[in-house]
């Protein structure tokens, strides 16, 4: 199993919540490095200030449908990050995971095929149980690892790109995080953060600064050269789905 066009490994990045400030602070860096982004959106909160009590991002403006379509035109992707960002349970999965996809598709006028688990991994099992029936092809988690080409699309690992990592294991930003592992294994890195800001992250264990984002992209390009496929998550999922169909043509 190999990546398209002779590429040896893959780099993607996603931003949870889809804050409007990405346009000012992250988009110019994406354009400079030729790396597509991806926003994970709370379906019930498009183009309004974020309203998830207790969130570090509460009150920040979320991208509008028009802004999201503009990003999509530049190669960015979109996933559904639940209906309300509540912890997903068996009791609310129909609303938070299934109906949210339809609500987001109607709000944006585009297909939504990836689900992004909100909060912590405790929300994963209830989301996983309904994801396929809901029409999703993949699930983004916050389990930090490199994905292999044979990965389970319904359990995609993501690498937190944060200024610091919470105790008890104090740890600082590392622009090389998992890159050599991805090179050695021919793997797929999906970075994630929320909304990088200049000089000081909004929350050190949930974000990096714009300087760190740029350092990360520069490191990916420098170490990746022509070998790295800089790709949006849905594009990579499509490629892997196509590969598995070709390997087992009798399956639907
Ligand atoms: Zn979130």
Give the pair of three-digit tokens for residue 117: 């688990």
Q: How far is the CA of 120 from the centre of ligand 1 (A)?
A: 9
Closest by CA to 201, choosing from 163, 166, 161, is 163
Closest by CA to 240, choosing from 141, 155, 124, 121, is 155
The DSSP letter of residue 83 is S
Backbone angles phi and psi of 29, in degrees to 5: -70, -40
Mean predicted lDDT score pLDDT of the chain: 96
Give the pair of three-digit tokens for residue 252: 């639907």
Q: How far is the CA of 215 from the centre of ligand 1 (A)?
A: 24
Give residue 23's Cα distance to chain centre. 16
Q: What is the pLDDT of residues 226-241, one digit of tens each?
A: 999 999 999 999 999 9
Backbone angles phi and psi of 144, in degrees to 5: -80, 110
Q: What is the pLDDT of residues 64-108, one digit of tens each?
A: 999 999 999 999 999 999 999 999 999 999 999 999 999 999 999
Q: What is the pLDDT of residues 173-224, one digit of tens each?
A: 999 999 999 999 999 999 999 999 999 999 999 999 999 999 999 999 999 9
Q: How far is the CA of 85 from the centre of ligand 1 (A)?
A: 6
pTM of the model: 0.96
Averaged pLDDT for residues 41-56: 93
Closest by CA to 188, choosing from 214, 136, 152, is 152
Give the pair of three-digit tokens for residue 232: 């949006």
Averaged pLDDT for residues 19-30: 98
Q: How far is the CA of 181 from the centre of ligand 1 (A)?
A: 27
Give the pair of three-digit tokens for residue 237: 């999922």
Q: How far is the CA of 227 from the centre of ligand 1 (A)?
A: 31
The residue written with tokens 């028009």 in the block is: 66
The pLDDT of residue 92 is 98
pLDDT at position 243 over 70? yes
pLDDT at position 251 over 70? no
């Amino acid at each position: 199993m190999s990546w398209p066009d002779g590429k040896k490994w893959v780099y993607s990045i996603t931003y949870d919540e889809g804050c409007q400030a990405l346009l000012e602070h992250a988009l110019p860096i994406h354009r400079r490095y030729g790396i597509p982004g991806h926003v994970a959106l709370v379906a019930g909160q498009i183009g309004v200030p974020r309203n998830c009590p207790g969130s570090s991002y509460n009150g920040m403006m979320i991208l509008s449908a028009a802004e999201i379509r503009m990003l999509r035109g530049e190669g960015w992707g979109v996933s559904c990050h639940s209906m309300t960002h509540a912890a997903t349970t068996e009791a609310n999965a129909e609303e938070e995971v299934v109906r949210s996809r339809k609500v987001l598709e109607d709000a944006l006028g585009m297909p939504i095929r990836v689900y992004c688990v909100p909060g912590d991994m405790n929300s994963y099992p209830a989301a996983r149980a309904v994801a396929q029936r809901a029409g999703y092809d993949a699930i983004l988690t916050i389990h930090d690892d490199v994905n292999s080409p044979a990965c389970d699309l319904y359990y995609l690992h993501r690498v937190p790109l944060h200024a610091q990592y919470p105790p008890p294991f104090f740890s600082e930003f590392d622009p090389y995080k998992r890159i050599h592992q991805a090179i050695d294994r021919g793997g797929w890195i999906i970075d994630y953060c929320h909304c990088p800001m200049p000089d000081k992250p909004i929350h050190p264990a949930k974000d990096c600064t714009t300087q760190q984002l740029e350092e990360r992209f520069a490191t990916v390009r420098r170490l990746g050269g022509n070998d790295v496929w800089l790709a949006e998550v849905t594009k990579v999922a499509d490629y892997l789905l196509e590969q598995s169909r070709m390997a087992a043509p009798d399956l639907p």
